[in-house]
Amino acid sequence: MTADLRKGRMRLRACLLGLLALFVAVKCNYSPEPDQQRTLPPGWVSLGRVDSEEELSLTFALRQQNVERLSELVQAVSDPGSPRYGKYLTLEDVAELVRPSPLTFRTVQKWLLAAGARNCHSVTTQDFLTCWLSVRQAELLLSGAEFHRYVGGPAEIHVIRSPRPYHLPKALAPHVDFVGGLHRFPPTSSLRQRPEPQVSGTVGLHLGVTPSVIRQRYNLTAQDVGSGTTNNSQACAQFLEQYFHDSDLAEFMRLFGGKFAHQASVARVVGQQGRGRAGIEASLDVEYLMSAGANISTWVYSSPGRHESQEPFLQWLLLLSNESALPHVHTVSYGDDEDSLSSAYIQRVNTELMKAAARGLTLLFASGDSGAGCWSVSGRHQFRPSFPASSPYVTTVGGTSFQNPFRVTKEIVDYISGGGFSNVFPQPSYQEEAVAQFLSSSPHLPPSSYFNASGRAYPDVAALSDGYWVVSNSVPIPWVSGTSASTPVFGGVLSLINEHRILSGRPPLGFLNPRLYQQHGAGLFDVTHGCHESCLNEEVQGQGFCSGPGWDPVTGWGTPNFPALLKSLINP
């Protein structure tokens, strides 16, 4: 048989198998989750198929009820002009509103049990079911899925994922939003250590950002700390297989926390702390949340110890849906490109963030470290927004640098500061005026084909993101940079404002954006100089958006001036 004939037969066989698969999907009335992520991210390698009897943990997102009503309630409890302002829903209130219909719960549960699913458990809101199945059972249950083991990321972690899309039986499609644990790979940290800037002479200079530099720039005095007498608390969440060490936090506070009252240990770790080396990102989050929000009880949500088939970010969302008493402020340095996520997944995660906002939780997400981002669509370059930074239900934090990197001066744009316009979420009403003002007045707008001017625009605020000192694995490390630094700093400042509100008998701030935009960024230092990075082509030449007076999609409304911000947010 000639080589050409063999190749021809192989192509024919491949075509026939493809047609057969299509026939089976149609014949059995299977419905795919649209736009499932199937491209392998850079740095990940397949180790081959997983043994058919290996156990998997999969999470099924059940279709919720009354999502429109939930959105209305978020607006009511977050708008200072509303009679319901600050009257947040309890977890039980949210559950009563969104829990799936009895038909949905019964249909999905029956389907899973018939497939041999074991140890299924739900959450208080009953809109997630997590079950254990063997690989063989999961591949029969989710037609088209094929589980492989992958290794990748800086820590060489192992995950189990399917490179192929799955299909739900059509009878199940109206009841399930998505199945977690199949496609999404853990993102890698974009935190970077920059070279130390060169400068001559050292009189009156600082040698990098420390808690004392933060407190000096943002006008925090030694008295601006938690009282230790309230139930006020704050949290950071980690999803990158990183750990913090108590000894690093203690050493950090010994070196840099001598001028203000602080706590030298975390109040509670939710999840398991691994025994490996500390990660710079994890160390940074804890050290700067606890030094900006000084002397306030702090929780850490830690993802290590998870099963290879679980998605850490999804596990954190499940925890929020299962705990009645939670910290008031959560800071999260996590993000994915919007276009890498399925529509079903991104919309459902947005609803989970909406649930948190209804309960009065302040969720702060890093805006990302790629400026406006860049990708090619049909041969045309466009900016690339990030999610959850682009969710209309979180407060997104961008990044700044000192104009002089060795002096506590006014701030300018940190060129890595993530920002732009969502291609998924329409612009929420609370920011329409601010965005319109920016678009009509900015002298440096990129071509309109690069961004969706009618999308949710971010970030909302900013803080210093350049040149931090971090203690990790007992070693002080200088010049660490990224919006992973600015986010816990802004979160700590909001926790101090919550302290004052709680002591005066008021509710915590909750979802901040409606109030922030109504007040036109009152209490923030406006950042008006600098642009962030974007596509390296002739048309935009690496430049994305530029900052200017008022709100902009690089630094939002600006960085915190604590006394002024406290004054603007203490009442009502």
Q: What is the pTM of this model?
A: 0.89
Q: 3-state class of 348 per DSSP?
A: helix
DSSP codes joined into one string, 41-109: PTTEEEEEEPPTT-EEEEEEEEPPS-HHHHHHHHHHHH-TTSTTTT-PPPHHHHHHHHPPPHHHHHHHH
Please tell me whether 258 is known to bind a ligand. no
455-480 as b/e: b if 16+ CB within 10 A: bbbbbbbbbbbbbbbbbbeeeebebb
Dihedral (CA of 138, 142, 147, 153) sign: negative
Instruction: Domains for the chain: give ranges and CATH numbers.
Output: 29-64+99-180 (no CATH), 211-570 (3.40.50.200)
**Which residue reads 């607006």 in tokens?**
75
Please tell me whether 336 is known to bind a ligand. no
Q: How far apart are CA 329 and CA 327, in angstroms?
A: 6
Please tell me whether 224 is known to bind a ligand. no
Contact status, residue 453 vs residue 252, Cβ threshold 8 Å: no
Please tell me whether 550 is known to bind a ligand. yes
pLDDT in tens, the chain (572 residues): 444 434 344 443 334 333 333 333 333 344 445 445 456 777 788 888 989 999 999 999 999 999 999 999 999 999 999 999 999 999 999 999 999 999 999 999 999 999 999 999 999 999 999 999 999 999 999 999 999 998 887 667 788 888 888 999 999 999 999 998 787 777 666 665 556 555 444 445 668 999 999 999 999 999 999 998 778 999 999 876 678 999 999 999 999 999 999 998 999 998 877 667 888 888 999 999 999 999 999 999 986 445 555 678 888 999 899 999 999 999 998 888 999 898 999 999 999 999 999 999 999 999 999 999 999 988 899 999 999 999 999 999 999 999 998 899 999 999 999 999 999 999 999 999 999 999 999 998 999 999 999 999 999 999 999 999 999 999 999 999 999 999 999 999 999 999 999 999 999 999 999 999 999 999 999 999 999 999 999 899 999 999 999 999 999 999 999 999 999 999 98
- Round the CA-based radius of gyration of the chain to a whole number and report it: 24
Active site (catalytic) residues? 281, 285, 484
Which tokens in the block code for residue 29? 């009335």
